[in-house]
Amino acid sequence: MACTHDHSCEDHDCSSNWSLYKHIDLAKVTALNEANPGSVKSVFKAWEERLNSSGERLESNEGDPELLVYIPFTSDVKIKSISVVGGADGTSPSKLRVFINREGIDFSDAQSMQPVQEWELVENLQGVLEYQTRYSKFQSVANITLHFPESFGGDTTQIHYIGFKGEATQVFQFLL
Amino acid sequence: MVLEATMICIDNSEWMRNGDYGPSRFQAQADAVNLICGAKTQSNPENTVGVLTMAGKGVRVLVTPTSDLGKILACMHGLEIGGEMNLAAGIQVAQLALKHRQNKKQQQRIIVFAGSPVKHEKKTLEMIGKKLKKNSVTLDIVNFGEDDEGKTEKLEALLAAVNNNDTSHIVHIPAGPNALSDVLLSTPIFTGDGEGGSGFAASAAAAAAGGISGFEFGVDPNLDPELALALRVSMEEERARQEAAAKKAAEESSKQEKGGEEQDATMTERASEGASEADNKKNEFLQALAMSMDEPASSHDLQDTEMSDAATEDPELALALQLSVQDSAKDSSSQADMSKLLADQSFVSSILASLPGVDPNDPSVKEVLASMQSQSEPQQKQDEDKAPKEEDKK
């Protein structure tokens, strides 16, 4: 279900479509098995900066390419598609499984549970690939958990950018 | 103030019977556990703590993470010592217990007390450590007790595998004069990752430095306010009594130069102190002794009036008082007389017999009498011996 853009990005401002990052509650984003605690927050940025690898990136621990990223949103969102930019030399993730509206998932849960949707990823160093979702299942997403079980043979998994395309509803999450 | 769920893994293996950490390794461990629980719940009221044992028949969870301190303390009672510690299984069960914590927002932490030899391979421990790190669980290791070859090395390897940015710690505690809990107070396990220490840890550390572990008198005012109050009151009473005794001793030594009024005052003061706790009979006895020791010249009148009060109530006592006063009147050094009088055991026993609640055959009374005979020291000490003994009987 990967698709490439059918137009060149210079004419059309794609960034406005990928603006769901603004609705991410960055303070509460967490990741499991990341080498540097807190580095996960650096992968959520504007579309233009998706290839900007000068800053931090999300990297898993040595010898263990599994990653689990928990992303809460500030309001319910509808997600149309997801884009992931990985690292070079086989450190891109090869698979993606997502879970919706479940908190506190850890690796054993993620491995045993049935995901809402999963994709076989392709190395996407230029950031032109996006993966469409089964939109009907992603209508009211308060939080999403991304599970990257393996990489393309690299020792670790590196992620430079995660983008969401869709719309935000105005239903705000009031957390007690 | 970090929100945390903690599982404490206790070592209740046979090696814990050893007494090199007083009173026994197991008891020292239990005290440390109590201290940790208190510290965690105090630093953040929403923190939860759970306890499991690693030895015995198998790994057993005594209490799942809860913020109820009473439950945790209760489960520490009646624990049996035996078997061998299973470190790997213990940590894994702790991880499982933390996984099912009610509040998923809490950070996960495991504190392990490793007192007996570690029989697992270093590789196994490293793998466990990696798994903990992957699931964002921090680990604190308390290495005490047995120190066989490789144990420290294995535990250090485990820590290295788990450690993520210095959030996990290991402490090595050798056997020594300090209690296990006191030493723990100064470690990062209590001071918590460089937060600067919670108020609990700081105050407890200060108290520990004074030789008292934990709270004043070793009792938590929160847990048992009545006991703490009782201890404090009795400590103050004892202090006051000793102060008065010290004062008297100082005055006795310069008795020949000074007038007897001071002594009189202190004696009656002591007697009145005694009155607040003891009954009238004892008070009269004290006063009788006091008066008999005063300088006869200066305070005869006082003696007479006081004695007549006493006399009206108990003729036997009055007789005793008379005897003692007369004796002291004859001899300027009433002290020697008093000791002679009290040395006369039959005289003393007759006095004591007249007092209700005092049994001359009581071993403690006999002991006091024996000590008085052997001493030629000032009366005050003997009074003190008698007074608390009699109070004890009450």
Q: Label residue B12 by pLDDT band (50, 70, 90).
A: very high
* Greatest alpha-carbon span in chain A: 45
Q: Label residue B82 by pLDDT band (50, 70, 90).
A: very high
Inter-chain touch A37–B165, beta carbons under 8 Å: yes
Q: What is the pLDDT of residue A172?
A: 65
Tell me which residue of B356, B351, B277 sits closest to B317, measured CA to CA.
B351
Chain A residue with minimal CA distance to B131?
A: A33
Q: What is the pLDDT of residue B211?
A: 42
Residue B102 touches chain A, beta carbons under 8 Å: no
Q: What is the pLDDT of residue B272?
A: 44
The minimum CA-CA distance between B93 and chain A, rounded to whole Å, is: 14
Q: What is the pLDDT of residue B219?
A: 56
Q: What is the DSSP letter of B304?
A: H
Residue A25 touches chain B, beta carbons under 8 Å: no
Q: What is the pLDDT of residue B361?
A: 65
Mutate to test the interface with A, among B105, B106, B136, B168 (most CBs of A within 10 A): B136
Window 26-55 of A: residues touching B by CB (8 A cutoff) are 30, 32-33, 37
CB B184 within 8 A of CB B32: yes
CB A163 within 8 A of CB A83: yes
Q: What is the pLDDT of residue B259?
A: 47
List of residues 6+ apart from B123 with CB closer than 8 A: none
- Average pLDDT on B255-263 reads 49
Q: What is the pLDDT of residue A8?
A: 47
What does residue B275 show for φ and ψ, rounded to 5 degrees? -60, -35
Q: What is the pLDDT of residue A15?
A: 66
**Greater confidence, B90 or B253?**
B90
Inter-chain touch A61–B134, beta carbons under 8 Å: yes
Show residues of chain B in contact with A32, CB under 8 Å.
134-136
Tell me which residue of A72, A94, A92, A69 sits closest to A146, measured CA to CA.
A69
Q: What is the pLDDT of residue B339?
A: 54
Q: What is the DSSP letter of A101?
A: S
Q: What is the pLDDT of residue A89?
A: 85
Window 162-181 of B: residues touching A by CB (8 A cutoff) are 164-165
Chain B residue with minimal CA distance to A31?
A: B136
pLDDT-wise least confident of A158-172, B3-17, B178-192, B275-289: B275-289
For β-strands B137-143 and B169-172, DSSP reports them as parallel
**Greater confidence, B221 or A169?**
A169
pLDDT-wise least confident of A31-45, B208-222, B261-275, B358-372: B261-275
The minimum CA-CA distance between A41 and chain B, rounded to whole Å, is: 16
Show residues of chain B in contact with A104, CB under 8 Å.
104
Tell me which residue of B177, B171, B175, B11 sits closest to B81, measured CA to CA.
B11
The minimum CA-CA distance between A103 and chain B, rounded to whole Å, is: 8
Tell me which residue of B306, B372, B387, B309 sits closest to B341, measured CA to CA.
B372
Residue A176 touches chain B, beta carbons under 8 Å: no
Domain boundaries in chain B? 4-191
pLDDT along chain A (176 residues), means of 10: 46 67 88 86 84 78 87 91 88 92 88 92 86 92 92 88 87 59
Q: For residue A43, how many C-alpha atoms fall within 13 Å in the half-sphere facing its CB?
A: 29
Helices (H) and strands (E) in chain B, counts: 17, 6
Q: What is the pLDDT of residue B23?
A: 86
pLDDT-wise least confident of A80-94, B10-24, B298-312: B298-312
In chain A the domains, ranked by start, together with CATH numbers, are: 14-168 (2.60.120.470)
Give the helix/strand (H/E) hosting A73.
strand A67-86
Query: Does residue B389 carry a pLDDT above 70?
Result: no
Query: Does residue B90 carry a pLDDT above 90?
Result: yes
C-alpha dihedral sign at B171, B175, B177, B180: positive
pLDDT digits (tens, 9 = 90+) for B125-179: 999 999 999 899 999 999 998 888 889 999 999 999 999 888 899 999 988 888 8
Q: What is the pLDDT of residue B358?
A: 56
Q: Label residue B20 by pLDDT band (50, 70, 90).
A: confident
Architecture of the domain made up of B4-191 = 3-Layer(aba) Sandwich (3.40)
pTM recorded for the entire structure:
0.62
Residue A104 touches chain B, beta carbons under 8 Å: yes
**Torsion over CA of A22, A167, A39 and A97, rounded to 10 degrees?**
170
